[in-house]
Amino acid sequence: MSIEWKDYAPGEFYDELFSAPGCAREPAEALISYLESFSDEDVNSRKIAAESTIKEMGVSFTVYTEGGNIDRAWPFDILPRVISKNQWDKTAAGLKQRLRALNLFIDDLYHDQKILKDGVVPEFILKQSVNYRKECEGISPRFGVWAHICGTDLVRDGDGQFYVLEDNLRVPSGVSYMLENRSIMKRVIPEVFEKVSIAPVGDYPEHLFETLAALSPREVEKPVVVVLTPGIYNSAYFEHAFLAQRMGAELVEGSDLMVTEDDCVYMKTIAGLERVDVIYRRIDDLFLDPEVFHPDSTLGVPGLMRAWRAGNVALANAPGAGVADDKVVYAFVPAIIKYYLGEEPLIPNVETFLCYDDVQRQHVLENLDKLVVKPANESGGYGMLIGPHSTKKERETFADLIKANPRNYIAQPTLALSTSPTLVGKNKVEPRHLDLRPFVLQSRDSYVTTGGLTRVAMKKGSLVVNSSQGGGSKDTWIVDTGTGIE
């Protein structure tokens, strides 16, 4: 027997597969029982097969370096993360609730700003937001939805409860890797899918296309949907091409589109110009339209904002949606849910300290060695201070940054992120910390992926799960045990 599960020690953290040494959680029992039959050679051959499959399928991501850009094979662990369907159904309801409230919030900000006038969210937070776009004021996207695709980062603390770590509402990425992870697992251990009731994930591209098509300003049988990419050198280009191909949509760059005098968007094709109804844009706001934002941008389309404002094309996510991507705004989401929906949040936030507040800032400065400090609008794990793993010099630097611009920083306790068994070395299993990014869609209807992208910190003790900083990934299984026992 290659994996001695009785010797696996979950440690002090909540473990996704084991409640105690040798005691699998109910959703994982069938998986663990199956894996116990594996020999050393079985485990090693499946691991090699996964690596070969990743190369064969061309699953890669780009790491930006000082010397250039490096394409790397997608880091993948063949031991999946398992969550019960009962718990996931509750989590999915909480994710839909959260995105509904955030879209109402964004729409309010670009119209009447009632939530500011009522004092629920301080007005200065909006005035100092780097992602608020005055150019979007007064625009009313279809269904009142600004963020059509959201990647919400979830973590489990020591109590086993899911918490929202942050919302990603601008151009969230990673869903292609969630889909490819499942494809890899079906090729590497196909027989286990016959033994365990695992919820499918492959219908996401269909739901994404339906979400986008519903935004079409024209009543046509099949709206023309395109995916707008910055190009092959973008770190998420693999995903842009993947989703376009799976949806049956055209993958375009800015130079492939043009806006005519009647404020409509057209795609240049061999057969001539073809009108575009919906643009799934994977370009940041400020590069979308050189007539409105960065005048030297070659990535966007001149006149695109005119066409959108005229209601002749739909943009997903809408420009300006990033105003709710601010980590300071994140701290107010529970209050935002109560304000717009009259409901209690179904998924709690992580406790958050706002550095613009004098009392909270003092607490943060006195406890930098215990807290995680984040800038309000960075992503990918950059610009953070992880207090327990920091040096005195790093803490002094962050103290100066916080004092110089307190509005730009929040702090949170260092969470006891859950762990899951992960293959390290040759057939050795150790707990590694992980998070989860499910994807939520909203236009006419709402949809949540069954599970999401599980990112795992491959270094022992590390809390950094981002692939750009050495993290890996696992397939995420939503399993119907029929009891809902965790």
Amino acid at 126: L
- Domain 353-413 -> CATH class: alpha beta
- pLDDT, one tens digit per residue, over 18-32 is 988 888 999 999 898
Which residue would you say has higher pLDDT here, 382 or 30?
Answer: 30
This prediction's pTM: 0.93
Q: Tell me how far apart the alpha carbons of residues 268 and 241 are, in angstroms, rounded to a whole number.
A: 18
CA-closest candidate to residue 178, choices 104, 252, 74, 293: 74
Which residue would you say has higher pLDDT here, 423 or 276?
Answer: 276
- pLDDT, one tens digit per residue, over 89-103 is 999 999 999 999 999
Amino acid at 20: A
- pLDDT, one tens digit per residue, over 121-153 is 999 999 889 999 999 999 999 999 999 999 999
- The Cα angle at residue 297 between residues 131 and 110, in degrees rounded to 5: 25
CA-based radius of gyration for the chain: 23
Task: Determine the average pLDDT of the residues in 348-377.
Answer: 94
Confidence of residue 56 (pLDDT cuts 50, 70, 90): confident
Q: How many residues does the chain have?
A: 486
Task: Determine the average pLDDT of the residues in 59-68.
Answer: 56
Beta-carbon contacts of residue 51 (< 8 Å; ≥ 6 apart):
73, 76
CATH 3.40.50.11290 residue ranges of the chain are: 220-312
For residue 47, pLDDT beyond 90: no
Residue linked to tokens 């981002």? 466
Query: Residue 304 has which token pair?
Result: 């695109």
For residue 64, pLDDT beyond 60: no
Which residue would you say has higher pLDDT here, 230 or 463?
Answer: 230
What are the contacts of 389-398 at 24+ separation with CB within 8 A?
Answer: 389/463, 395/368, 395/369, 398/368, 398/373
- pLDDT, one tens digit per residue, over 274-308 is 999 999 999 999 999 999 999 999 999 999 999 99
Q: Into which CATH architecture does domain 220-312 fall? A: 3-Layer(aba) Sandwich (3.40)
Q: Tell me how far apart the alpha carbons of residues 380 and 219 are, in angstroms, rounded to a whole number.
A: 39
Predicted pLDDT of residue 381: 61
Orientation angle between helical segments 175-188 and 237-247, nearest 10 degrees: 80
Give one word for 285, left, alpha or beta, with left for phi > 0 and alpha for psi -120 to 50. alpha
For residue 414, pLDDT beyond 80: yes
Confidence of residue 55 (pLDDT cuts 50, 70, 90): confident
Torsion angle of the four alpha carbons 167, 168, 173, 174, in this order, in degrees rounded to the nearest 10: -10
Q: Tell me how far apart the alpha carbons of residues 329 and 344 are, in angstroms, rounded to a whole number.
A: 17
Query: Residue 89 has which token pair?
Result: 């159904």
Predicted pLDDT of residue 72: 67
- In angstroms, what CA-CA distances link 389 with 10, 274, 467, 469? 21, 54, 19, 15
Residue linked to tokens 């300071």? 328
Q: Tell me how far apart the alpha carbons of residues 136 and 294 are, in angstroms, rounded to a whole number.
A: 16
Beta-carbon contacts of residue 169 (< 8 Å; ≥ 6 apart):
102, 146, 147, 150, 317, 321, 322, 324, 325
SS3 assignment, position 100:
helix
Beta-carbon contacts of residue 443 (< 8 Å; ≥ 6 apart):
142, 143, 145, 148, 211, 212, 214, 215, 316
Confidence of residue 70 (pLDDT cuts 50, 70, 90): low
Average per-residue pLDDT for the chain:
90
Residue linked to tokens 């996207």? 141
CATH 3.30.1490.270 residue ranges of the chain are: 353-413
- The Cα angle at residue 53 between residues 243 and 150, in degrees rounded to 5: 30
